[in-house]
Amino acid sequence: MSDKSPFDTDRGNGGETHQHIPAKGPHDGLDHLTTNQGIRISDNQNSLKSGTRGPTLLEDFVLREKIFHFDHERIPERIVHARGSAAHGYFEATESLSDITRADLFRRKGEKTPVFVRFSTVAGGAGSVDTPRDVRGFAVKFYTKEGNWDLVGNNIPVFFIQDAIKFPDLVHSVKMEADRAYPQAGSAHDTFWDWASLMPESTHMLMWAMSDRTIPRSFRTVQGFGIHTFRFVNDAGKSTFVKFHWRPKLGMQSTIWDEALKLQAADNDFHRRDLYEAIASGSFPEWELGLQLFDEDFANSQPYDVLDSTKLIPEEVLPLRIVGRLVLDRNPDNFFAETEQVAYCPANIVPGIDFSNDPLLQGRLFSYLDTQKSRLGTANFHQLPINAPKCPVMNFQRDGQMQMAVPKGRANYEPNSLAAHGEPGGPRECPVTGFHTDEAASLSQEQGDKLRIRGELFADHYSQARLFWKSQTPSEQAHIASSFVFELSKVALEEVPPRMVGNLLNVDRDLATRVANGLGIDLPKKNPAAREPIDMDPSPALSIQQNMKATIEGRRIGILIADGTDAKALEALVKAIRNAKATPFVVAPRVGKAKLSDGTVVKADGQLAGSPSQLFDAAAVLLSKEGTEMLLKEAAAVQWVMDAYGHLKAIGHTAESAPLLQKAGVEPDAGVVALDKGFVDAAARRYWDREPKLRTLA
């Protein structure tokens, strides 16, 4: 459909009837506007009326169809993961795994498989914001030659619960409170912490949720995890346990809490915009696929149960094997048709991949298919282009609401003998190439009576929470403790904070003490543990700060200018930033009228009042004496510098801009440098040791 109307003239005023429009005229060569039945429309500006000022006629089928479709454009949003952003791309195998799996996409080095990847928040609705403290979904649909495989995970390797039967309770508690419909997209309220404090198995996930993992800088800098233990099966039928990890090429990056709050005000679509613009500019996001592969002996030797989704396998115990890369290189053409209608189902697997008996995974195998039917209104949702496999689909499933295929012939059942009568008999099963459920899909101890019970090791709710705490830097530990204080301070039920702190005493006494002090409550008694926690070796791989990459590649650097800014210095800085594969963003009091030192007028990328420094990864203050004197009177300029400093970012500056930095409370440190003395290198990191001087943390 053309983006230009077939008629270029303004119409619809003064009772015009447009009978003068010829059969051939200004619309020649353009696509014709039609109804959904293909009937060409002569007038899309006026409804059919009885007389110039008479009532609208019911027979106006163009109006009725248009309004009918508009009335039904919104479909039920996802119960969780409602707010999402997505992109097309490909997965490339970087080595052959034919010895451990028969899955075709892993059999040949260099094999590329189309994918559609959706990132999301969990708790908020579709109209919420991008940057709350929340888990991020990381779902990948592989369009393989053998059918669709959906790897549906999060940016955190563990989950709140062990058994899917608790999922409705978790979601009900964290969603808006039922009687008041708020808070939106936040867990800092009574019902969530009431539930969480009564569910010790959630403690490990709570440690992650209160960490900086849930306030990421970008979708491009989050890790992704399949969470559950799956199985690979090779041609010989041998089974291998596998856990899936996505590692971002740009390294992990997070924001800090004050920055995340201010980002919500600065740009509700911060993550969505970042992903879209990166792909549009050719800076394609990329991840490595790492696998943890192990056998039953390894599983049985660990002090936790590998089928427990509240547990992880430390990378120091079982290193990742990097087997491929994921590249996102194309934005969706239509948000609704693709990002909104894409339907992920963990039950979608291909030959060579199979499930484990993880009780959370087992419940997900049912719930996703069921919820997609509810959302998309038909059992034929798999026929939507974004969900349709890119390999042949042949079966005897027929009819149903919104059936888009047109099956031919009488054969809608099997077995049948219609082929013997010269009629198409339809497809047949193939024992050789078809999917086989792994016959050895159970661990030796997974057999037994039918019981509503969990494995013995599932009762250890605190050992890995302690492991996570011990693996963080002091700065990250302070953020976690402070997050608990902030969230629990929003809880009005008096018994909940002490109960939660009683659980934290099983994790670490210092953590619990810091949270209790921050809340102003007495340290309670330690809550009894169903199984006494053990000490595990720290895992540096669990820390963001210990794994950040010293690079500005893919990041955005804000450059504050004003009248009198040195033209050559600005040109050199922009060039240096681009050479480092980052994006310079020039900010000025007025977008189009900054007069540089050589008399040229530069058009800024953003206005100072609408481009706060939280939108950038580092800040450059490139001001002349004249520009500094002017901006000293601008509160937005002082706040621009103050926030960059407060959010622990590098600040590069000219000597002339020193008064502005002083007014913003900037004190010299390793991250405050002259623009001509290594600013690009300084911009590659955050300055965590600055934080204790700026705010009180738990």
Q: Could you give the dihedral angle defined by the CA atoms of residues 176, 177, 178 and 179, in that order, rounded to the nearest 10 degrees?
A: -120
* Domains identified in the chain, total number: 4
What would the 3-class secondary structure string for 280-310 be?
Answer: HCCCCCEEEEEEEEECHHHHHHCCCCCCCCC
Domain end: 383, 398, 429, which one? 383
Q: Out of 81, 88, 204, 479, which one is annotated catalytic? A: 81
Give me the chain's average pLDDT, please. 92
Cα–Cα distance for residue pair 96/621, rounded to 1 Å: 50
Examine the pLDDT at 23 and tell me if it is beyond 50.
no
The 672-674 sheet, strands edge to edge: 606-607, 583-588, 556-560, 618-621, 651-653, 672-674
374/230 same-domain check: yes
For residue 97, the cross-strand partners are none
Q: Say what the pLDDT of residue 18 is.
A: 37
Examine the pLDDT at 5 and tell me if it is beyond 50.
no
Examine the pLDDT at 386 and tell me if it is beyond 80.
yes
pLDDT in tens, 344-368: 999 999 999 999 989 999 999 888 8
Q: The domain containing residue 25 runs over which residues?
A: 1-73
114/60 same-domain check: no
Domain end: 46, 73, 100, which one? 73
Examine the pLDDT at 343 and tell me if it is beyond 80.
yes
Token pair listed for 169 = 């309770």
The CATH number of the domain holding residue 528 is: 1.20.1370.20
**pLDDT range class, residue 471, cuts 50, 70, 90:** very high
In a domain, 101, yes or no: yes
The CATH number of the domain holding residue 564 is: 3.40.50.880
Cα–Cα distance for residue pair 579/594, rounded to 1 Å: 24
Q: Say what the pLDDT of residue 652 is.
A: 98
Examine the pLDDT at 292 and tell me if it is beyond 90.
yes
327/361 same-domain check: yes
For residue 322, the cross-strand partners are 290
* Mean pLDDT across 664-669: 97
Q: Which amino acid is at 28?
A: D
532/564 same-domain check: no
In a domain, 415, yes or no: no
Q: Say what the pLDDT of residue 72 is.
A: 86
537/568 same-domain check: no
The CATH number of the domain holding residue 1 is: 4.10.91.20
In a domain, 433, yes or no: no
In a domain, 29, yes or no: yes
Examine the pLDDT at 474 and tell me if it is beyond 50.
yes
pLDDT in tens, 208-235: 999 999 999 999 999 999 999 999 999 9
**pLDDT range class, residue 574, cuts 50, 70, 90:** very high
Q: Out of 27, 148, 154, 331, which one is annotated catalytic? A: 154
Q: Which residues of 574-595 are buried (b: 16+ CB within 10 A; e: fewer)?
A: bebbeebebbbbbbbbebeebb
Q: Say what the pLDDT of residue 570 is.
A: 96
**pLDDT range class, residue 1, cuts 50, 70, 90:** very low
Q: Say what the pLDDT of residue 443 is.
A: 61
Domain end: 545, 567, 600, which one? 545
Backbone angles phi, psi at 440, to 5 degrees: -105, 35
In a domain, 147, yes or no: yes
Cα–Cα distance for residue pair 183/635, rounded to 1 Å: 31
Per this entry, what is the length of the chain? 698
**Cβ atoms of residues 492 and 190 within 8 Å:** yes
pTM value?
Answer: 0.91
Cα–Cα distance for residue pair 589/136, rounded to 1 Å: 35
20/161 same-domain check: no
In a domain, 503, yes or no: yes
The CATH number of the domain holding residue 133 is: 2.40.180.10
Q: Say what the pLDDT of residue 563 is.
A: 95
54/100 same-domain check: no
**Cβ atoms of residues 153 and 138 within 8 Å:** yes
Which residues, including other chains, have CB under 8 Å from residue 64's CB and lie 6 or more apart? 58
Which residue's structure tokens are 């103050």?
642
486/369 same-domain check: no
* Mean pLDDT across 161-187: 94
Token pair listed for 259 = 């920055």
In a domain, 128, yes or no: yes
Cα–Cα distance for residue pair 654/669, rounded to 1 Å: 15
Q: Say what the pLDDT of residue 250 is.
A: 96
pLDDT in tens, 414-463: 898 999 999 998 888 888 888 888 776 556 566 667 677 888 999 999 99
515/565 same-domain check: no
353 Rama class: left (phi>0) / alpha (psi -120 to 50) / beta: beta
124/30 same-domain check: no
586/625 same-domain check: yes
Percentage of the chain beyond pLDDT 70 is 94
Examine the pLDDT at 9 and tell me if it is beyond 90.
no
**pLDDT range class, residue 67, cuts 50, 70, 90:** confident
**Cβ atoms of residues 393 and 403 within 8 Å:** no
| More confident of the two residues 140 and 426 | 140
567/511 same-domain check: no
Q: Say what the pLDDT of residue 2 is.
A: 40
**pLDDT range class, residue 15, cuts 50, 70, 90:** very low
Percentage of the chain beyond pLDDT 90 is 78
Would residue 81 show up in a list of annotated catalytic residues for this protein?
yes
In a domain, 484, yes or no: yes
**pLDDT range class, residue 19, cuts 50, 70, 90:** very low
DSSP secondary structure letter of residue 614: G
**Cβ atoms of residues 309 and 158 within 8 Å:** yes
Which residue's structure tokens are 């050199």?
572
Cα–Cα distance for residue pair 292/322, rounded to 1 Å: 9
Examine the pLDDT at 621 and tell me if it is beyond 50.
yes
Would residue 154 show up in a list of annotated catalytic residues for this protein?
yes
Distance spanning both ends of the chain, measured CA to CA: 58
